[in-house]
Amino acid sequence: MKVLVTGATGNVGSVVVRELLKRGAEVRALIRKPDAAHKLPASVEVAIGDLLDPVSLEAAMKGVDKLFLLNAIVADELTQALIAYGIAKRIGLKHVTYLSVFKVQEFRDVPHFASKLAVESALREFGVPYTILRPGYYMQNDIGLKDALTGPGLYPMPLGTAGIAAADMRDIAEAAAISLTEEGHEEQTYDIVAPSLISGPGNAALWSKLLGKEIKYTGHDFDQSERTCAHECRVGVLTISA
């Protein structure tokens, strides 16, 4: 069995690739630039293409059985997904696993939530067996805060105080690989979140304990968060743990 993985060199996609290989699946990775191929395991087949280029996308899908679809948070992510699903249906892929977001139906005013909800609705109409994964906030996002934490001692993520659901990228990848290599996950939607909630002050307290210094939560101060992100931690850059 061969699986095409989009976003294969990114944070979640790269872990999905490893999990699929562990389970004996053949993997083809869709990447936009050839020079990114070195980030992939040697056994992974590479296809050069773009989710907005139907010709390259169809070429990448030919000869594979299943698809793991991850769209970046961009203005045209809905278009990307619909192109991918249309091709998957036409060439007869056996299964598509789609990475959505937790509680997608409750935040329709958020653009990328609205796009993912529309994709989910399309999936149910396309006739291709599917699994939808809905992860919460990525725990690994905090890795991008290293400079802010170890320098001025600030935790600037605007998580609030009420608490939000979070997920480990490795759990997301494992769930994706299981859905693509085992039976019984067709037409299923899975929430992937930890059993407890995290909050801004709570994470600041946790980092204070781990680092042995006071970490102040500044996520409620959006001006301070913006200054910190710009000068200290580049919060928008997400990485994954080893």
In DSSP terms, 166 is beta-bridged to 137
The more confident residue out of 242 and 94 is 94
Same domain, 77 and 159: no
User: Could you tell me where the beta strands, DSSP code E, fall in 12-165?
Assistant: 26-31, 45-48, 66-69, 95-99, 130-135, 137-138, 154-155
**pLDDT computed for residue 75 by the predictor:** 80
Residue 241: pLDDT band (50, 70, 90) is very low
For residues 95 and 68, membership in a common domain is answered with yes
Regarding whether 48 and 129 lie in a shared domain, the answer is yes
Are 118 and 97 contained in the same domain?
yes
**Count of all residues that appear for the chain in the document:** 242
Are 102 and 148 in the same domain?
no
Distance CA(236)–CA(238), nearest Å, equals 6
Q: Do 57 and 83 have their domain in common?
A: yes
State how many domains the chain has.
2
Task: List, for residues 154-209, the tens digit of each pLDDT value.
Answer: 999 888 888 888 999 999 999 999 999 999 999 999 999 988 898 989 999 999 99
Q: What is the pLDDT of residues 72-96, one digit of tens each?
A: 777 888 899 999 999 999 999 999 9
Q: What is the domain extent for residue 209?
A: 136-163+198-242
Query: Is the same domain home to 124 and 76?
Result: yes
| Predicted pLDDT of residue 225 | 52
Together in a domain, 125 and 182: yes
CA gyration radius for the chain? 19
Q: Are residues 176 and 100 in the same domain?
A: yes
Q: What mean pLDDT is reported for the chain?
A: 87
Question: Who contacts 109 (Cβ-Cβ below 8 Å, separation ≥6)?
Answer: none
End-to-end CA distance of the chain: 27
- What pLDDT shows up at residue 226? 55
Pairwise CA distance, residues 5 & 13, whole Å: 7
Tell me which of 174 and 106 has the higher pLDDT: 174
pLDDT at 20 over 60: yes
